[in-house]
Structures are given as C-alpha cells and as structure tokens.
Chains A and B, each alone.
Chain A
Amino acid sequence: MTHMSPVWQRRFLAPGHALADCAIMQWQGQGGADTPGADARCRLYLAVDGDTHEARIDKAAFAVFGPPVAIASADWACEWLQGRTIEAARSLSSRDFEQALCLAPAERYAALLVLDALADALARWPH
C-alpha cells in the first residue's frame, strides 16, 4: 500500500493545473512521455512569453493517465514551472520532486515520467 502524504493527497484530489480546467487554447510548447509499461502517460503544456532561453513560462498545465503520484507530480511541476525561465525549467530535477512531495523510492518513477514529458516539451519548443 502506497503511503499518501498530505501534500500528495491535496494535489491528487484537487490539482490546480489540470489541462481540463484551463481556459487557454494556445500553447507554445507541449510534450509527452509514458512509463515503460505504458501504465502511465503524461503530457505537459506550456504557455511561454518570449522566444529566447530567457523567456518565461506564463502558464503550465498537464494531462495524466496514471496513478495518484503521477497526477500529483505533474501538478506540482506545473506550479513550479510558472514564472520560471526556459533555462530554469531545464534545471528541474527528480530531487526537487522528491523533496517537495516526499516521494518514497518506489514513487520516484512519477518524477521521471513528468521530467521526460517536460524534456520532450522543451525539445519541441520552436525557439
């Protein structure tokens, strides 16, 4: 049985950055990833102000098919990304997720899933 921390629970039960709840229709970047067994899929959507590496992420949103830890991780990442530069976004690491969400070792794959989706989105970002 996976332990669900209070941070986790809130984000899973009431995420603030689900794509389904966003009014934005145009995203400058998006990317996806899935786990090796395709048990979980994540897609991140980025609204970016500017076209250089100093450009700032105005808004980030996610869509996830997956377990609660994946939904919570994606939601946290979107919150973290907002207001940060593209360069800063590239520095996000699994350790940041572990500390913010108190991820157990067995849950770290969720951070990697979201990071893979972010890397894909940044790689596809036209600028």
Chain B
Amino acid sequence: MNAASETIYLDYAATAPLAPGVMEVMQHALMATDANPASLHGPGREAARLIDTAAAEVAQLINAREKDLIWTSGATESINLALKGVVAFAGTDAHIVSVVTEHSATLDTLAWLEKYGTRVTRLPVDSDGRIDLGDLESALADNATLVSIMHVNNETGVIQDIAAIGERCAAHGVDLHVDAAQSLGRLALDVERMQIALLSLSAHKIGGPKGVGALYVRPRTGLAAQLHGGGQQRGLRSGTLATHQIAGFGAAAAHMAAIRDSEQKRLAVLRDHLSDALARADRVMRNGGPVHTAAPFLNVSVAGVHGDALLKGLTDGAPALAVSSGAACSAAKGQSSYVLRAMGRSPREAGASIRFSLGAGTTAAQIDAAADRFVSEVSRLRAIADAA
C-alpha cells in the first residue's frame, strides 16, 4: 500500500520502486566520485571502478562477461541499437524476423527500418501468446539476418521459449536478439546456454533507477554504432557514462540475483491466489496460460464492462489500484490491445483487459483487498450497463 495515496501498487511491470540499497549506492557514486570514468587520473579510475562493479553484477545475472555490456539509457535505446545496428552493419539486404506481439520499441523501430528497405517478417502467436517454432524455422530459412523476440511479454507476461529459439537460430547461423526488459531478475537468463547474440536490458524494471539500461553484445556480432562522438564503449555507444545510474543498476541486479528464486515463487502463489479471487466476478478470462506466464503477471479480460470505465474505476476509486491496461481506450475505435487481438481475443475482450503485475512490495493482504475492489467495481459497472 502506498502510504501517501492509499493506492495498492500492482504495476511493477511498468516500473518498480528502488530496491533496497540502490539509493545508497547511487548517493555514494554521486558524492564520492564526480570524475569522468573515462579519465585516466585517480578520481576517474575510482568512477570507472564503480562501473566495473556494476558490470560484474549485471553480467552475473545473465551469465555474460562484463566487457560485453554496452550501457544505454534503457531498453528502448538498447533495442534501437540492436536492430538498427545490425541492419546498418548487414546492409540493405537485411531480413529481420520478429513477432506481432513485441513491445512498440521493437515494432516501431522495425517499421522505421522497413521504410528504408529492410525486410521484416512478423510471426503470429497462438491463443496462449506463443510463437510456433515451425513458423520460425520457415522464416529462418528465408535468408534471415536477425531474429528479435521478447522473452516475457509486457502486457501478458507470456514467456517465449528462448532456449529453443536460440537453438534454431544457431542451427541456421542467424543471430538472436532478445528483449529481456520484463524477464531480467524474474527468469533465469543465460546468454551462453540460450545462444543469445544481443540482449536488451532495463534497470528500472528490477528496482534500479530509470534512465539506464544495457545491451549485451556477443563478441564478433556485426553491429554498427548509432550514437557517435567520443568513442566510449568500444565506439558502439559514445557519450560519458552516468556513473551513479549504472552503479544503481548494478546494485539492483545484485539484489535481484540474491532473491530471485524465492521471490518469484512467492509472487506466483500470490498471482494464482489473485486469479482465483478475480474469478468471483464471473466472465473473467485469463490471458496467457498459467504454465508459460511469468510469476508476477496476471492479465484478464472482463465481459460486460467497458475497458476504459473499468480501468478508470479501479485507478480512481477507493481504494485505488495502480494497474494498467493493454489499451486504456475504446475497443471499437481500433485501439484495443494489439497483443490480445493477436492472441485471438475480440476487440471488446481486448479492450476490457487489466494487467496486474506484482513485485517486491506486494503482500497477501493487498492481493485480497485488490481482488475485493476488482469484483466490486466490475459488479458496479455491470449493474450500470445492464439495461443499456
């Protein structure tokens, strides 16, 4: 419960509060070292040491080498660098294979690349939100340059089988880029075992600061820089490093590494309890099968209520729930969730959908209160709509 506003925060997929110890590490970085980490003098080396520590902490979480990380401003920049960088390196014959349910950071970048001649294949998903590996095989055989796919979907929490996808990419000699913004710290990530060439990461989803992320780049991956200047980070991303931001990212990664397994088990129990409790409202459909959904996520479609009214009722009523919708908008205006539409939901089902995402501060009491609030609001809105 947020003490200031009495809001029950269940929007950890949007962003997570700072993890324990992160603020202190960032304050230390700001106060103790104000030098440029690229400088060769003592204070500069001290700043560089903080960055090295963070690199080790983040790299440990994905089983990578520290020196293969490129710091960025967040996952969006990482994705842009990965996609545009691969195409710029490969030339105009590039063919990128992706999925219809990707985050807009990927979809919009691909649309931009397409305008300049890049060929893009967007794979469909089944009703559980997963791709068919046979479809992937076909696309790989069509002179693919890169496969770009998100590990955990940001709306539904649906998990793609990255190990199996990586195996197929490797068999075809095609590089794999994974958007891990929602899976870092939640699922086991191993760039070696999963045969990942590029991995986009975000700090603030795991309790780090906003405004910092990273791109893992496997050695000898063809990638052209998109930001030019001082030649920092092996020339792949110029610009002075934000020492305190990166230090905070590292601290959050270290915290996540320590608690991940037990915390995800705890959240899965709470999520399933929430799912059962929401079913009291009747005609509530879970989006994404429970087996292949990351522990903190629960996305539901609700029949008989308008999506915009439901979201506003939950977020502005009392107690307020901080939840999200794939589409806080009108179903019939073509603005309903493209992710849920791709999974076969109707415009109205996709419009009246709510995403609950749990995190470190979520308690059983909050889940009970949120479920009661949800059932009550659905009942209220259905009563208002009943005779319309």
- Flag whether A64 is at the interface (Cβ < 8 A): yes
Q: Is the CB of A20 within 8 A of B386?
A: yes
- Flag whether B316 is at the interface (Cβ < 8 A): yes
| Segment at the B interface, from A66-74, A81-89, A95-103 | A66-74
Residues of A within 8 A of B49 (CB): none
- Flag whether B190 is at the interface (Cβ < 8 A): no
- Flag whether A19 is at the interface (Cβ < 8 A): yes
- Flag whether A41 is at the interface (Cβ < 8 A): yes
Q: Is the contact region of chain B dominated by helix, strand, or loop, or is it mixed?
A: helix
- Flag whether B313 is at the interface (Cβ < 8 A): yes
Smallest Cβ-Cβ distance to A12: which chain B residue: B312
Set B309, B328, B383: member contacting A66, Cβ < 8 A: B309
Q: Is the CB of A64 within 8 A of B333?
A: no
Q: Is the contact region of chain A dominated by helix, strand, or loop, or is it mixed?
A: mixed
Residues 7-55 of A at the B interface (beta carbon under 8 Å) = 9, 12-13, 15, 18-20, 32, 35, 37-43
Residues of B within 8 A of A18 (CB): 383-384
Determine how close the nearest CB of chain B comes to the CB of A115; give it in whole angstroms.
16
Determine how close the nearest CB of chain B comes to the CB of A41; give it in whole angstroms.
4
Most buried by A among B317, B333, B388: B388
- Flag whether B52 is at the interface (Cβ < 8 A): no
Residues of A within 8 A of B31 (CB): none
How far, in whole Å, are A65 and B304 apart by their CA atoms in the complex? 8
Q: Is the CB of B312 within 8 A of A32?
A: no
- Flag whether A63 is at the interface (Cβ < 8 A): yes
- Flag whether B365 is at the interface (Cβ < 8 A): no
Q: A15-B384, A38-B332 are in contact. Are A68 and B308 (CB under 8 A)?
A: yes
Q: Is the CB of B316 within 8 A of A20?
A: no
Set A1, A12, A15, A37: member contacting B330, Cβ < 8 A: A37
How far, in whole Å, are A35 and B332 apart by their CA atoms in the complex? 10
Q: Is the CB of A39 within 8 A of B332?
A: yes
How far, in whole Å, are A40 and B156 apart by their CA atoms in the complex? 26
Residues 336-388 of B at the A interface (beta carbon under 8 Å) = 383-388
Set A1, A39, A43: member contacting B333, Cβ < 8 A: A39
Residues of B within 8 A of A63 (CB): 384-388
Q: A13-B317, A68-B309, A68-B312 are in contact. Are A39 and B385 (CB under 8 A)?
A: no
Smallest Cβ-Cβ distance to A15: which chain B residue: B384
Determine how close the nearest CB of chain A comes to the CB of B311; give it in whole angstroms.
9
Residues of A within 8 A of B387 (CB): 19-20, 43, 63
Total interface residues on B, CB under 8 Å, equals 20
Residues of A within 8 A of B331 (CB): 39
- Flag whether B204 is at the interface (Cβ < 8 A): no
- Flag whether A4 is at the interface (Cβ < 8 A): yes
How far, in whole Å, are A90 and B134 apart by their CA atoms in the complex? 63
Residues of A within 8 A of B312 (CB): 4, 12, 67-68
Residues of A within 8 A of B332 (CB): 35, 37-39
Determine how close the nearest CB of chain B comes to the CB of A12; give it in whole angstroms.
7
Q: A18-B384, A20-B383, A43-B388 are in contact. Are A67 and B316 (CB under 8 A)?
A: no
Determine how close the nearest CB of chain B comes to the CB of A21; give it in whole angstroms.
8
Smallest Cβ-Cβ distance to A75: which chain B residue: B384
Residues of A within 8 A of B330 (CB): 37, 39-40, 67
Q: Is the CB of B309 within 8 A of A67?
A: yes
Set A4, A32, A64: member contacting B385, Cβ < 8 A: A64
Q: Is the CB of A13 within 8 A of B383?
A: no
- Flag whether B306 is at the interface (Cβ < 8 A): yes
How far, in whole Å, are A1 and B312 apart by their CA atoms in the complex? 11
The 8 A CB mask of B308-323 against A (1 = contact, 0 = none) is 1100110011000000
Residues of B within 8 A of A37 (CB): 330, 332-333
How far, in whole Å, are A40 and B306 apart by their CA atoms in the complex? 8
Set B317, B328, B333, B384: member contacting A71, Cβ < 8 A: B384
Determine how close the nearest CB of chain B comes to the CB of A104; give it in whole angstroms.
14
How far, in whole Å, are A71 and B312 apart by their CA atoms in the complex? 12
Residues of chain A whose beta carbon lies under 8 Å from any beta carbon of chain B: 1-2, 4, 9, 12-13, 15, 18-20, 32, 35, 37-43, 63-68, 71
Task: Give me 15 other A-B pairs in contact (C-beta within 8 A), A32-B388, A66-B309, A68-B313 excluded.
Answer: A1-B328, A4-B312, A12-B309, A13-B313, A13-B316, A18-B384, A19-B384, A19-B387, A35-B332, A39-B330, A39-B331, A39-B332, A63-B386, A68-B308, A68-B309
Residues of chain B whose beta carbon lies under 8 Å from any beta carbon of chain A: 304-306, 308-309, 312-313, 316-317, 328, 330-333, 383-388
A-B contact list, 6 entries, CB within 8 Å: A13-B316, A18-B384, A39-B331, A64-B385, A65-B305, A67-B308
